[in-house]
């Protein structure tokens, strides 16, 4: 059987250390409880970022989150003095925590030759808390941290026009109002889109 791909253990440990260290550096009350939750009650540190597109590998979610932070810091340079660094860290690292306990591994038969089939593992969605996407990440983060309005807006609307809610009239108005008000929300959408579609993780 061909298994799903996984990042090497050393890389996963490095990413986890970076994620935890940068989150702790915000010095927010509740950070340790959030890290304990992600570690003990979810698969966040080993989950993929998607089923088949960006980061479709065990460990892809934490790789995606840490990489989004790197590019978000770059994209906000022109307005960095207007956005607190702890907000940048929280928005980037927590924007996709909705994907913890979201994927499962299943098997299927895949044709690999003219008359040959092979059993392969693949990622499938099995959402254990179906509350949406950006709003779900904001709700989970808010359980542990007191988020600012800008952090909530950035996390909630990080999908931009790809968010199903943004396709309705009232949702589109809410997205537009959020982006008019919050530069962090716009920048997070750009960083997330860039990392997923250009970097591919």
| pTM of structure | 0.95
Joined tokens for residue 124: 């499938």
3 in a structural domain: no
In a domain, 144, yes or no: yes
For residue 180, which phi and psi values (nearest 5 degrees)? -65, -35
In a domain, 23, yes or no: yes
For the chain, percent of residues with pLDDT exceeding 90:
90
Lowest mean pLDDT among 13-22, 27-36, 120-129, 159-168: 159-168
In the chain, the percentage of residues whose pLDDT exceeds 70 is 100
- Asked if residue 46 belongs to a domain, the reply is yes
Give domain status of residue 2, yes or no: no
The alpha carbon of 93 is separated from its chain's Cα centroid by a whole number of angstroms, namely 7
Domain residues for 108?
A: 9-199
Q: Write the pLDDT tens digit of every residue in 29-81.
A: 999 999 999 999 999 999 999 999 899 999 999 999 999 999 999 999 999 99
Q: Is residue 119 in some structural domain?
A: yes
Length of the chain, in residues: 201
Range with the poorest average pLDDT among 46-50, 119-123, 164-168, 176-180: 164-168
Residue 4 lies in a domain: no
Reading the block at residue 52, the tokens are: 């088949």
Decide if 183 is inside a domain. Answer: yes
Task: Supply the DSSP string of 3-41, one letter for each residue.
Answer: PPPB--HHHHHHHHHHHHHHHHTT--TTHHHHHHHHHHH
Question: What is the domain count for the chain?
Answer: 1
């Amino acid at each position: 059987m061909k298994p799903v791909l996984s990042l090497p253990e050393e890389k996963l440990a490095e990413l986890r250390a970076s994620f935890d260290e940068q989150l702790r550096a915000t010095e927010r009350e509740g950070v340790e409880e959030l890290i304990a939750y992600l570690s003990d009650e979810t698969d966040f540190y080993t989950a993929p970022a998607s089923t088949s597109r960006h980061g479709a590998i065990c460990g892809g979610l934490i790789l995606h989150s840490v990489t989004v932070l790197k590019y978000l810091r770059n994209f906000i340079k022109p307005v960095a003095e207007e956005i607190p660094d702890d907000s940048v860290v929280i928005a980037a690292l927590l924007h996709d925590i909705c994907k913890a306990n979201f994927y499962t591994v299943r098997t299927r038969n895949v044709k690999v030759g003219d008359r040959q089939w092979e059993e392969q593992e693949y990622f499938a969605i099995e959402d254990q808390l179906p509350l949406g996407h950006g709003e779900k990440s904001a709700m989970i983060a808010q359980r542990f941290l007191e988020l600012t309005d800008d952090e909530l807006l950035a996390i909630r609307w990080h999908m931009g026009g790809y968010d199903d809610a943004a396709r309705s009239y009232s949702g589109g108005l809410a997205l537009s109002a959020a982006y008019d008000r919050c530069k962090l929300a716009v920048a997070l959408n750009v960083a997330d889109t860039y990392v997923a579609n250009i970097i591919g993780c």
